Amino acid sequence: MKKLLTFSIVVFYSLPLAAGDLEFDAEQFVVDYLSARTATQQPNATSVDIEHYLSFLAEDVGYQHLPYNDDDSRNPDGKSDMREGMTYYLGKNKSFSAELVNFTNGFNVVAIQYKGVHEYQREGEALTVEDYSALDVLELENGKVTVIREYLK
């Protein structure tokens, strides 16, 4: 009986410590997420970079990128669709950079504001260089991104 009581006390007092270890570190998440996303856009990006980025996403992730895609519904094949789309554009950029400006988080959402430069050339077209500002709003569930809303200007 004494052992059971001792075990119960140890477990009870360890719970807050364990819960503290599991708390969401938004700043580290933002740095890791943006770094992984940026790596997929580099001229020398590989499928390994894509898979690393996809590891942040739920299988049924929803993706909205206005004005190109206005549906943010979660999709049973969301991660697979993202993989297919990202693979199509893999290595097609001449250069890509993204610099974190700010982020905020609350409830189950992380908003990441960043700016960057995207340089690419489509077949038969002149080189295009875009300076951009972006805001990605990410919904999270169980540590995975479930919905991505991407806003560019």
> What CATH class has 23-152?
alpha beta
> How many residues in the chain?
153
Which uninterrupted H or E stretch holds 81? helix 78-89
> What pLDDT score was predicted for residue 22?
61
Domain ranges of the chain: 23-152
Please list the pLDDT of the chain residue by residue as tens digits (153 residues).
443 333 333 333 333 333 444 688 999 999 999 999 999 999 999 999 999 999 999 999 999 998 788 888 999 999 999 999 999 989 889 999 999 999 999 989 999 999 999 999 888 889 999 999 999 999 999 999 999 999 988
CA distance 153 to 141: 28
Q: Indicate the pTM of the whole model.
A: 0.81
